Amino acid sequence: MNIRVIISVFIAAGILAVTGCRRENRELKKDTVAIAGVMCRSLEAMKNLKMADPADSTAVEKLQKEYRKIQDEMAILYRDFNTKYRKDVAKKEFSREFRKYLNEAMLDCKSLSKEDRETFERKVDD
């Protein structure tokens, strides 16, 4: 009878440990996808700025304002991310997992250049 109780406790602990890890990974992935989304919007804004006619000061000013807004949003996301994962950021495994999620999420960005896309694809496979 005691053996069954001990085995049940180990099984329950194992299930909780695995479930807890998955929840954290999902949360990290969600946060990373948000960061990648803002990075993608930033790339799009820079691309639009480069393509804008310099003579059209109104359009350039509007695009610059949009770019600054995205940069502010990115700064807030990074600050919140670093606050939330402060203890984990220095860990190799965490950094590897974050980079993997970021590379995967960036592949959804339509503003990536061909070279950038190839780089992210290579890094996903690493």
Which residue, 14, 23, 24, is CA-closest to 93?
Answer: 24
Task: Look at 10 and 98; give whichever has higher pLDDT.
Answer: 98
Q: What is the residue extent of each domain of the chain?
A: 30-125
pLDDT at residue 75 in the model: 95
Lowest mean pLDDT among 41-45, 61-65, 95-99, 115-119: 115-119
Average pLDDT over the chain, rounded to an integer: 84
Most confident of 2-6, 67-71, 88-92, 106-110: 67-71
pLDDT at residue 9 in the model: 46
pLDDT at residue 3 in the model: 59
pLDDT of residue 8 exceeding 60: no
pLDDT of residue 82 exceeding 60: yes
pLDDT at residue 55 in the model: 93
pLDDT of residue 16 exceeding 70: no
Q: Over the range 30-46, which residues count as b (16 or more CB within 10 Å of their CB) and which as e?
A: ebbeebbbbbbbbbbbe
What pTM was computed for the model? Answer: 0.73
